[in-house]
Structure 1
Amino acid sequence: MVSDVWGVIQTYLAAYGLKVIAAIIIFIVGRIVAGWLTTLVRKLMERASWDVTLSKFLGDVTYGILLVIVIILSLGALGVDTSTFVAILGAATLAIGFALKDQLSNFGAGFLLLLFRPFEVGHFIEAAGTSGVVEEIGMFTTKLRTGDNKLVYVANSNVIGGNIVNYSAKDTRRIDLTIGVSYEDDLQKVKEEIWNILNSDERILKDPAPTVAVAELADSSVNFVVRPWVKSGDYWPVYFDLLEKIKTRFDEVGISIPYPQMDVHLKKED
């Protein structure tokens, strides 16, 4: 009885022993090579200054693909018909793709955002109808912190599918103000007072130079455009300060900011 069992074992070892050893060697060596190639890919992306999240993601994808190839080669060494396995794997991938098509769309959009980098973490942007500071660029969603400290998770497909306004991409920004004064006011005096206010604020840049000019003879006022340049981080503080300073100074020197008004003439008939 023992001899019969041993004979069966010897038969299987003779038939499959070398194949099993070959499959084990292929799997072990394949994993080592896959890990080495993955590390190489990550180092190359780090040297190219790619985004950390993108580098990690591409490294994981590279390792996963290489590991699948190693497993298929190992099964082939055992004598398994890998064509059937590949077909099943392809069908499963296709089914998963249809089931998760929306998430895959967000995934692909996230990949493009990390690759082309229209904005970075810490930038203030406007995208998909939402404005805020970028807290995180994920593979499926982008996290924005709004001005009132709310977190908004925007699907990446919505972000990349529309216009993206990056307010932090440049070091400087232009403030656009429209200031209306009365038709009775001295326009040269108005310009002089506005220039005095601009020149007294050190946050306003000299180059590019600000613009102060008459832009419109409106129904109830003469409208000036006031366009100073500031550093991006100073935009809102300077914006609010200028409005307050202009109103306060105009009150002091007697320059009026008129309300909308209409002259009505009554005609009396006998």
Structure 2
Amino acid sequence: MDLDFTAVTQFFGKLTLSTLLPALIYLIGGLIISKLILSFLDRALNRSNVDVTLKSFFHTAVRLVLHFIIFMVVAGALGIQVTSLVAILSVAGLAISLSIQNLLSNVLSGLMLLSIKPFKVGDYVEVGGTGGTVKEIGFVHTKMLTIENIMIYIPNSDVSSSKITNYSTEDKRRFNLKINVSYECPPEKVRKVLLDYISAHPQVDRDPAPFVAVSDYKESSIEYVVRAWADNSIFWDVYWDLFNGLDDLFRKNGIAFTYPNLNVHVKQ
């Protein structure tokens, strides 16, 4: 596209002190007012319970709007046709928004996550079958660190449309442990041994009390369910401590685990 130097020359030729001075005043005054508004907004957001990322977004969005208004006012003072400029910017904005609609979807989803707060940084969550500790809720991605120490970046639109399980919202958490024991071991004995074992652990809550019961009679074993509560912060420590002690517990008390059996009948 050829540049119309004649039009440019005519535009700058029309600029006089009477047009430049008001435009300069509007520019300086607008920037001062913009700074005051942003300062007031920052103080209001700091007093609120708004997420840090959301505060940054609000600040940036308001700053862009204020600067756009200042630009339009200054352009009008310089004699530029503002209506034509708005029409051009509108068409350009529409074209850009269509080309980055996936990005906009992720940004809007990120804002929704920050507003609704189904989880926060530091929570252990499961999103669409993927579990990990939330490290960052960004505008486009949510960063999660898995127990294998792998950082995962999930698009916010996928996060907001998936099932979210948050394991960190409550102070207490219950574990359900299922154990298969031989039919040769009396159920009352197994229940008592398990209940005494669980109850004796110093980090297992007494209220609600631990619970042990027969949950199923299988083909070659009796299934027992063990339920107990512990502080969420030490949940896995308690779980693995109890789980790893079961083998020694059963050996000392003459209780036998079961394993899959395959019966083969041979006809002669």
Give TM-score, length-normalised by structure 2.
Answer: 0.90
Moved more, 45-54 or 63-72: 45-54
Q: Which amino acid aligns with 2:46?
A: E
Once residues 210 and 45 of structure 1 are traced to their aligned partners in structure 2, the CA distance between those partners, rounded to angstroms, is: 45
Preserved contact between residue 110 and residue 140 of structure 2 (Cα < 8 Å): yes
Tell me the residue number matched to 2:36: 36
Alpha-carbon displacement from aligned partner over 1:48-89 (angstroms, at most 9, x marks no partner): 121111101210110111110111011112222100111111
Preserved contact between residue 179 and residue 223 of structure 1 (Cα < 8 Å): yes
Tell me the residue number matched to 1:51: 51
Structure with the greater alpha carbon radius of gyration: 1
Preserved contact between residue 75 and residue 82 of structure 1 (Cα < 8 Å): yes
Query: Per the alignment, do residues 125 and 15 of structure 1 end up closer, same or farther by CA in structure 2, a change over 3 Å counting?
Result: closer
Tell me the residue number matched to 1:5: none
Secondary structure of 1:209's counterpart equals coil
Query: Per the alignment, do residues 34 and 258 of structure 1 end up closer, same or farther by CA in structure 2, a change over 3 Å counting?
Result: same
Tell me the residue number matched to 1:166: 166
Preserved contact between residue 38 and residue 60 of structure 1 (Cα < 8 Å): no
> Where do residues 137-176 of structure 1 align in structure 2 (5 Å cutoff)?
137-176=137-176
Once residues 100 and 117 of structure 1 are traced to their aligned partners in structure 2, the CA distance between those partners, rounded to angstroms, is: 25
Secondary structure of 1:132's counterpart equals strand
Q: Which amino acid aligns with 1:174?
A: R
How much is the aligned-residue C-alpha RMSD, in angstroms?
2.0
Preserved contact between residue 182 and residue 258 of structure 1 (Cα < 8 Å): yes
Secondary structure of 2:245's counterpart equals helix
Tell me the residue number matched to 1:26: 26
Once residues 14 and 230 of structure 1 are traced to their aligned partners in structure 2, the CA distance between those partners, rounded to angstroms, is: 78
Moved more, 258-267 or 90-99: 258-267
Alpha-carbon distance, 1:262 to partner: 5.4
The answer for unaligned runs of 5 or more in structure 1 is 1-11
Secondary structure of 1:31's counterpart equals helix
Preserved contact between residue 16 and residue 78 of structure 1 (Cα < 8 Å): no
Alpha-carbon displacement from aligned partner over 1:68-111 (angstroms, at most 9, x marks no partner): 01110111122221001111111111111111111111111111
The answer for unaligned runs of 5 or more in structure 2 is 1-11
Q: Which amino acid aligns with 2:42?
A: R
Secondary structure of 1:148's counterpart equals coil
Q: Which amino acid aligns with 1:98?
A: L
Once residues 55 and 195 of structure 2 are traced to their aligned partners in structure 1, the CA distance between those partners, rounded to angstroms, is: 50
The runs of 4+ residues in structure 1 deviating greater than 3 Å are 12-16, 262-268
- How high is the sequence identity, in percent, across the aligned residues? 36
Once residues 133 and 112 of structure 1 are traced to their aligned partners in structure 2, the CA distance between those partners, rounded to angstroms, is: 19
Q: How many residues align?
A: 257
Once residues 49 and 256 of structure 2 are traced to their aligned partners in structure 1, the CA distance between those partners, rounded to angstroms, is: 56
Q: Which amino acid aligns with 1:132?
A: G
Give TM-score, length-normalised by structure 1.
Answer: 0.89
